[in-house]
Chain A
Amino acid sequence: MLELERLFKAVYLWLERIFNSLGIPHFWFDLFTMLLVALIVLGVMSFAAMFLVWWERKISAHFQQRFGPMRTGWHGWFQLPADGIKLILKEDTTPATADKPVFLIAPIVIFVASFLAFVCLPFGKGLIVRDLNIGILYILSVTTFTVVSILMAGWGSNNKYSVLGGFRSAAQIISYEVPLTLSVLGVVLLTQSLSMVKIVSAQEHVWSWNIWKQPLGFLIYLTAAVAEVNRTPFDIPEAEQELVAGYNIEYSGMKWAMFFFAEYTNLVLVCGVAATLFLGGWNGPILPSWIWFLVIWVVMWFRWTFPRVRVDQLMAFGWKFLLPLAFLNLILTGLLA
């Protein structure tokens, strides 16, 4: 296990000494370290999202016996920076009838929502921005901003299709938020704590992982999480083959890229939370947090295996099957634990 914690602590102390010797008030030092940490988290997030886009393209290609991107660099590793440059250079149009401030803010809100949630996600031992004692509650509440952003994007575009798409996505995300939260509650009941660090330290050994105590909870969480981040089999908001797009139909250039980017950071977040809650977090064997990518891979595997469900099937499954099952799981956990 890499001892990144020590490195960060050493850098922190070194910076503190420099600031003290220069006689700068401690407030500025705090602000500086906060900014630095925010930048590091942003960097890790962006890198993970960029890597995942490439990874998904390669994985999907190999599921279909294709190669995927091969021309830009070794096995197309430069494809994503190239696409990014293209998106930055592209014309960024705003519809004439759009509600301009709302239209402009929506992609920022969806990005900030996933960024904020990373505050409470432990990347490794001691590698957590702030260990809030309501950590998991904080993550669940902050990610709800995604719905607000999707509605803003749909409404701000002032286009009937994007409004419909926005409502469709909002309905889906809100419906699956309920079983998601209930499945998380099972873990919280077991650990008696909402803090992410405490949840991880409660599953020190492989056999004390929460997935063995909460197999049903894990499955419910994974299903609801896949629906939450709008991926196949629940990707009705996007539904490439049937609909053009949903809430983001009027977006182009970098604003569209923000939605795309947030989709992948949300994927990282959701899988990170899954690994933290059920799969021992940083206590994974060999390296910390490599299990994240295993979970992400499984979610991608879902995407390239299962066909999309219909809207009515989606709603019926969420409310009539997943929600009672989540309640059952919660009651059983309450009785047994």
Chain B
Amino acid sequence: MNLVKRILNGIYNLLLGMWTTVKYLFSHAITLQYPDQRWTMPQRSRGVVVLMTDPETGKLKCIACAMCVRTCPTAAITMISEKDETGKKLRYPKEFEVDQGICIFCGLCEEVCPVKEKAIKLVNLYEFSVYTKKELIYDMEKLTQIGKGFK
């Protein structure tokens, strides 16, 4: 009697398993066909580091306070600043480099930035792989260029 019960139980379990898998067979595949379909990245996702420009003046928002340079835990940011020629006590970055290969995408530079609406930002661009490590060091021009595509 026990054997019959065990056999019936086994058959029930086999059928239960088959029912479960067949339900999945007729459900939709959840794979994204990557290069054709893409994720919509979450708003606060942190990707590549960029510099933002003021949309009105077209100049960099950066005031060269070097807060980001000091706070960066991996020292991925280097900056050389210069005084503004108008004589006011203003500074602007002459050279600005971010090594995206060293960057750990922690977002501290963005957090610490004193400029309104942030001069340095981590945008949701995540496809920036290149063939050499040197290409990962973004200079000011490149950082600005990418930053222009984002708000």
Q: How many residues of A contact B (CB 8 A)?
A: 14
Q: Which of B48-97 contact A (CB under 8 A)?
A: none
State A65–B30 Cα separation when bound (angstroms).
6
Complex interface: chain B residues within 8 A of A304 (CB): 21
State A92–B25 Cα separation when bound (angstroms).
37
Interface SS of chain A: loop
The answer to whether A59 and B29 have CB atoms under 8 Å apart is: no
State A302–B17 Cα separation when bound (angstroms).
9
Q: Is B39's beta carbon under 8 Å from chain A?
A: no
Pick the contact of B17: A64, A65, A67, A305 (CB < 8 A): A305
The answer to whether A70 and B25 have CB atoms under 8 Å apart is: no
Range of interface residues on B (Cβ < 8 Å) = 10 to 19
Pick the contact of A59: B18, B25, B27, B28 (CB < 8 A): B25
State A67–B22 Cα separation when bound (angstroms).
15
Complex interface: chain A residues within 8 A of B21 (CB): 63, 301, 304-305
Q: Is A306's beta carbon under 8 Å from chain B?
A: yes
Given contacts A301-B21, A305-B21, contact A61 B14 (CB under 8 A): no
The answer to whether A64 and B33 have CB atoms under 8 Å apart is: no
State A304–B25 Cα separation when bound (angstroms).
10
A302 to chain B, nearest CB (A): 8
The answer to whether B17 and A66 have CB atoms under 8 Å apart is: no
The answer to whether B18 and A65 have CB atoms under 8 Å apart is: no
Q: Is A130's beta carbon under 8 Å from chain B?
A: no
Q: Which of B2-49 contact A (CB under 8 A)?
A: 14, 17-18, 20-22, 24-25, 27-31, 33
Complex interface: chain A residues within 8 A of B29 (CB): 61-62, 65-67
B6 to chain A, nearest CB (A): 11
B34 to chain A, nearest CB (A): 11
